[in-house]
Homo-oligomer: A and B are copies of this chain.
Amino acid sequence: MSDNPQEYELDWDVEKRLKLNDAGLVPAIVQADGTNEVLMMAWMDTHALAYTLATRRGTYFSRSRNEYWIKGLTSGNVQEVTGVALDCDGDTVLLTVKQTGGACHTGAHTCFDNDVLL
């Protein structure tokens, strides 16, 4: 299999249910298998979602770097994807993952650990 997410296409019956934003992306909520803890949120295009479904590796589209981002490829903090669901109106993806190491790019366990308002 290719290691380039761009080369992966979604099944049409999934793609037609997906509602992308103007940039061609959907938000992807990532939760931990077992505890359900919310680890991070990232963005996917159809190729990132197709690649994630095919390889079970959490893969996103980085809006700041404008490129695909296979989580853990450089940090080693990979995500083994064990579940993927669309929401009721197809504009959000929920991933369940077995996370190796910290999920946050800061190294923290989750992206929501450090700025608690309530």
Mostly helix, strand, loop or mixed at chain A's interface? loop
The answer to whether A115 has its CB under 8 Å from any CB of chain B is yes
Closest 10 CB pairs of A and B: A36-B36, A84-B118, A86-B115, A87-B111, A84-B117, A85-B112, A88-B111, A41-B92, A94-B112, A85-B116
Q: Given A53-B117, A85-B113, 6 more contacts at CB 8 Å?
A: A29-B38, A31-B38, A82-B118, A83-B118, A88-B105, A88-B114
Instruction: Point out residues on A near B: beta carbons under 8 Å.
Output: 14, 17, 27, 29, 31, 35-38, 40-41, 53, 56, 81-90, 92, 94, 104-106, 108, 111-118
27 A-B contacts, Cβ less than 8 Å apart? A14-B117, A17-B115, A29-B29, A29-B38, A29-B41, A31-B36, A31-B38, A35-B36, A36-B38, A38-B94, A40-B87, A53-B117, A53-B118, A81-B118, A84-B118, A85-B118, A86-B112, A86-B115, A86-B117, A88-B104, A88-B105, A88-B106, A88-B108, A88-B111, A88-B114, A90-B115, A92-B112
